[in-house]
């Protein structure tokens, strides 16, 4: 059954390849949505896919790419929306 979550990732997560690496992981898991930089320095990830795939993405987000220093990840369930791809912005 499809599920949807909004993740907010705090720490040193901008300028460290976080969005692009998240896109690659999401696509490998069959997840659509987006990863965007927020003005306050956080990254927002909207993820749409199977619940187990979203759990695996959440595990990745806790560490991120090598140069990232993730301080915290929050997650909330949101309404499912159909998206064709996973984008960054």
Other C-beta atoms closer than 10 Å to the C-beta of 70 total: 18
CA distance 72 to 41: 13
Q: Write the DSSP symbol of residue 38.
A: -
Burial class (CB in 10 A: 0-12, 13-18, 19+), 64: buried
Give the residue numbers annotated as catalytic, written as ranges.
19, 37
């Amino acid at each position: 059954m499809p599920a949807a979550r909004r993740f907010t990732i705090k720490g040193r997560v901008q300028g460290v390849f976080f969005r692009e690496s998240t896109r690659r992981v999401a696509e490998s898991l069959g997840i659509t949505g987006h990863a965007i930089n927020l003005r306050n320095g956080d990254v927002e990830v909207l993820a749409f896919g199977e619940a187990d795939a979203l759990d695996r993405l959440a595990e990745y987000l806790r560490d991120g790419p090598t140069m990232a220093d993730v301080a915290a990840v929050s997650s909330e369930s949101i309404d499912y929306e159909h998206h064709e791809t996973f984008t960054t912005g």
